[in-house]
């Protein structure tokens, strides 16, 4: 017997019922994100056909200037989200500063932070890419009043205060995965393009632990890592005297894809600091924190190597952080290796 068909709209309404004081605004915000995801998905899946690939600078069949997909995705997110009166501002990887709500639109009490297209270097080679989003309630502490434009204080909040977070993965199918936090669980919806609906396909996702023995990291940077980080990966490989071993290595180079595999199969994804990027590469507000909320809500963990990602209060909109995310047992193991004092970790890293 096929399980009942549940659209994301129906699911959001059902979830809203379990939060008696929930305003419909939050649900409407999630609908709009799902709409933006459908539009971006169509463009991503057409990319190879209408020359939207890369920065060719040529005009496409409609005579429009060809724009990079991440510029397109940025525009779709802003245009889909700026007019419905739910937001006081937005933050995007593609914009240096806070994106204000145009004066002609009502101002709401939520903040949307997003990476409109993650993994964009993979667009031209047809590797899965994604959109990552994070939603906070604005900080109404007297300084910023209702109906006033969003401020930095509304944006620079720790991840544990997120009211929702999730991602869209544009892969062999387009999936939207979101959580409203540990109580709400993590749910995945697969787009049926023939009816333009996201249908519930993965109810209450739990990250496997014990996990699949998979580690995911860009080993090209091995020589730039700390000795502790090198020993951790040596453990996964069972080399240089580290017992471990028996792990598979998987690295796609598209965070959403590497994270999605880790969430469904278990394992650990790492983007460590290195001698060239001492704070790592990934951004707190619209990459690490939203994925950390999803992972923790699915029973996993997310750390910067010594503390929970969700406790980090970023100093700036584009602050970076090291990221160790996945099955709790492997993130705990990573922290144990990383906190070894230098002398017991062996000689310093080559740099
Ligand atoms: P973005 O395309 O949004 O800039 O993100 C790219 C990120 C992330 O998707 C991925 O995990 C990481 O870059 C890969 O970096 P390396 O090429 O250094 O491994
Ligand atoms: Mn990204
Ligand atoms: Mn991006």
Quick check: 144 pLDDT over 80?
Answer: no
Q: Say whether pTM exceeds 0.85.
A: yes
Beta carbon of 119 within 6 Å of any ligand 1 atom: yes
| Ligand 1 centroid from CA 254, angstroms | 6
pLDDT band of 22, cuts 50, 70, 90 = low
125: Cβ–Cβ under 8 A, 6 or more apart, which residues?
none
Please give the pLDDT value at position 289: 98
Pairing of β 323-326 and β 268-271:
antiparallel
Burial 166-193 (b: 16+ CB within 10 A, else e): bbbbbbeebbbbbbbbeebbbbbbbbee
User: Which run of H or E residues covers position 338?
Assistant: helix 328-338
Cis bond upstream, residue 210 (ω within 30): yes
Beta carbon of 257 within 6 Å of any ligand 1 atom: no
Please give the number of the atom of ligand 1 that sits closest to the Cα of 129: 9
| Ligand 2 centroid from CA 22, angstroms | 30
Which ligand has an atom closest to residue 259 CA? 1
* % of the chain residues with pLDDT over 70: 88
Please give the pLDDT value at position 52: 52
| Ligand 1 centroid from CA 119, angstroms | 5
Residue holding tokens 């429009």?
Answer: 64
What's the order of all strands across the beta sheet hosting 186-192? 99-100, 87-92, 110-118, 129-137, 164-170, 174-179, 186-192, 197-202
Quick check: 138 pLDDT over 60?
Answer: yes
Query: Is residue 314 within 8 Å of residue 279, measured between CB atoms?
Result: no
| Ligand 1 centroid from CA 255, angstroms | 6
- Of 78-92, 120-134, 270-284, give the lowest mean pLDDT range: 120-134
Which ligand has an atom closest to residue 77 CA? 3
Question: Which among 167, 169, 165 has a CA at the least distance from the CA of 44?
Answer: 169
Pairing of β 214-216 and β 268-271:
parallel
Please give the number of the atom of ligand 1 that sits closest to the Cα of 258: 11
Structure tokens at 105: 């639109």
For the range 295-298, what are the long-range contacts, defined as Cβ-Cβ under 8 Å and sequence gap of 24 or more? 295/207, 295/259, 295/262, 295/263, 295/325, 295/326, 296/182, 297/179, 297/181, 297/182, 297/184, 297/185, 297/186, 298/179, 298/185, 298/186, 298/205, 298/206, 298/207, 298/263
Average pLDDT, rounded, for the chain? 89
- Of 10-24, 81-95, 287-301, give the lowest mean pLDDT range: 10-24
Query: What is the C-alpha separation between 24 and 297, in angstroms, rounded?
Result: 23
pLDDT band of 348, cuts 50, 70, 90 = very low
Beta carbon of 118 within 6 Å of any ligand 1 atom: yes
Structure tokens at 300: 């996993």
Question: Tens digits of per-residue pLDDT, 64-103?
Answer: 444 578 788 999 999 999 999 999 999 999 999 999 999 9
Beta carbon of 174 within 6 Å of any ligand 1 atom: no
pLDDT band of 28, cuts 50, 70, 90 = confident
Which ligand has an atom closest to residue 287 CA? 2
| Ligand 3 centroid from CA 197, angstroms | 25
Please give the number of the atom of ligand 1 that sits closest to the Cα of 93: 3
| Phi (first) and psi of residue 155, to 5 degrees | -95, -40
| Ligand 1 centroid from CA 253, angstroms | 6
Quick check: 51 pLDDT over 70?
Answer: no
């Amino acid at each position: 017997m096929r399980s009942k068909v549940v659209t994301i709209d129906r699911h959001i309404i059902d979830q809203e019922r379990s939060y008696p004081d929930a305003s419909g605004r939050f649900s409407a915000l999630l609908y709009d994100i799902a709409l933006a995801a459908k539009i971006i998905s169509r463009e991503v899946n057409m990319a190879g056909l209408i020359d939207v690939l890369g920065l060719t600078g040529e005009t496409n069949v409609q005579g429009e200037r060809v724009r990079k997909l991440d510029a397109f995705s940025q525009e779709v997110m802003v245009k889909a989200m700026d007019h419905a009166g739910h937001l006081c501002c937005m933050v995007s990887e593609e914009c240096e500063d806070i994106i204000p709500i145009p004066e002609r639109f009502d101002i709401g009490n939520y903040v949307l932070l997003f990476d409109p297209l993650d993994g964009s270097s993979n667009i031209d080679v047809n590797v899965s890419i994604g959109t990552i989003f994070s939603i906070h309630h604005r900080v109404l502490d007297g300084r910023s009043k209702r109906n006033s434009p969003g401020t930095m204080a509304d944006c620079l909040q720790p991840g544990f205060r997120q009211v929702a977070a999730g991602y869209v993965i544009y892969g062999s199918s387009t999936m939207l995965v979101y959580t409203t936090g540990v109580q709400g669980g993590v749910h995945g919806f697969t787009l049926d393009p023939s009816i333009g609906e996201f249908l519930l396909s993965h109810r209450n996702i739990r990250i496997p632990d014990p996990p699949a023995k998979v580690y995911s990291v860009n080993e090209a940077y091995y020589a730039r890592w700390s000795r502790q980080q090198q020993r951790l990966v040596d453990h996964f490989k069972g080399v240089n005297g580290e017992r471990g071993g028996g792990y598979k290595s998987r690295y796609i180079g598209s965070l959403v894809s590497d994270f999605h595999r880790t969430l469904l199969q278990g394992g650990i994804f790492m983007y460590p600091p290195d001698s060239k990027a001492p704070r790592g590469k990934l951004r707190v507000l619209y990459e690490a924190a939203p994925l950390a909320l999803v992972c923790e809500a699915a029973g996993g963990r997310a750390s910067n190597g010594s503390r929970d990602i969700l406790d980090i209060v970023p100093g700036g909109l584009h602050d970076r952080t090291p990221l160790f995310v996945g099955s709790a047992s492997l993130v705990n193991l990573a922290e144990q290796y990383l906190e070894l004092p230098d002398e017991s970790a062996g000689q310093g890293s080559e740099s």
